[in-house]
Amino acid sequence: METAMSKAVITITDAEFETEVLKAEQPVLVYFWASWCGPCQLMSPLINSAATKYSDRLKVVKMEIDPNPLTVKQYQVEGVPALRLFQGQEVLISTEGVIGKDKLLELLDTHLNNN
């Protein structure tokens, strides 16, 4: 039975990245954002809705860029909002800037339906 918790977007830090993302059993969508980023405010509801829609086959985490420079540098996040879809150590999707709901769902459907 699903709980509301399983659909929540989890906030992580550099220290948790390996465990929460790279060692996760299912694909993980990482949403990079910043408190000062206006476009990030537009993307947040979309990320939450993706977490709910794909809760059975996708883990969604968010990471604020300013307090987490190691991961930001490692995955070359140059602008926010940014998304990275991981399957294990591999990055399947990499986007920067605001994308619409249709585009996000299309990207996720493409990768998640192949599993």
Q: What positions carry a catalytic annotation?
A: 37, 40
Beta strand 10-11 with 59-64: parallel, antiparallel or unpaired? parallel
Cis peptide upstream of residue 45 (ω within 30 degrees of 0)? no
Pure H helices in 18-68: 38-53
User: Cα–Cα distances in Å, from 10 out to 20, 36, 73, 80, 113?
Assistant: 9, 20, 21, 18, 23
